[in-house]
Amino acid sequence: MSSSTLSNRPALWRIPAHQISANAIHAKAEILFERLKTIAQEHQDVRFATSLAAEDMVVTDAIIQSGAKISLFTLATGRLHQETIEMTSQVEKHYGVAVLRVEPQASDVEAFVDKYGLNGFYDTEEAKKACCGARKIKPLNQALIGADAWLTGQRREQAVTRSDLPLREEDDARGIAKYNPLFEWTEAEVWAYLQNKNVPIHPLHFQGYPSIGCEPCTRAVKEGEDIRAGRWWWLQQDSKECGLHVK
């Protein structure tokens, strides 16, 4: 490949630099630790759904460091990047904890493929929702049976659909509490935490992926693009949710 071809490639998103001091991020972390411990104390069974991306690694590390009694699981959709699959094992080894892998029901996946085709989610919004329903929403429902609260890594800054995100909300669909412990965190604070505390970082973040989901529905984004521009990029800008967090 010629040097001119390489120079014409658009620059990709990169992990942002920050000017946050170690003392400042330590203070932020202490608030997060107390937040998690309080959540765990107020509920009998709290579970955290991790995608292994940056925000979720902050929450994972904070759960371990705080000693909060919160279990971890991930949605093993069957369409994840190999890097994500390997990251799950890395997290288990690094922290000495188990991450439950929750898989979709084979019958649900087969029903989707029979109706829409393996990659039918590219064709219509209806098909995209159906795929997420089979591979993510139904497995999440299964993973939360018996829990009375669950956590996410969502932040207000991430998307217009999350601008009013609270710390606690009611998950009406499942009749349990839902917490967003990083709701007010900035992107800079997320990366300052990860780097200051030497937290494992998903390898796709080094390849231009600020947001990570299933492989067919996630791509690297250009420098300056919205951080969720690589999620379901063929859809309209207001369709950047899979349904896990839509009331």
Catalytic residue annotation? 242
Entry field: residues in the chain: 247
The whole-angstrom distance between residue 1's C-alpha and the CA centroid of its chain comes to 35
Q: Amino acid letter at 133? A: G
CA distance 106 to 80: 16
Q: Within 13 A of 221's CA, how many CA atoms are on the CB side?
A: 21
Query: Would you give the DSSP letter of residue 159?
Result: -
In the chain the beta strands, taken as DSSP E runs, fall at 46-49, 70-75, 99-102, 149-151, 168-171, 176-179
If phi over 0 gives left and psi between -120 and 50 gives alpha, with beta otherwise, what is residue 205? alpha
Q: Which residues of 115-130 are buried (b: 16+ CB within 10 A; e: fewer)?
A: ebeeebbeeeeebbbb
Q: Are 34 and 67 in contact (CB under 8 A)?
A: no
The answer to whether the beta carbons of residues 195 and 25 sit under 8 Å apart is no
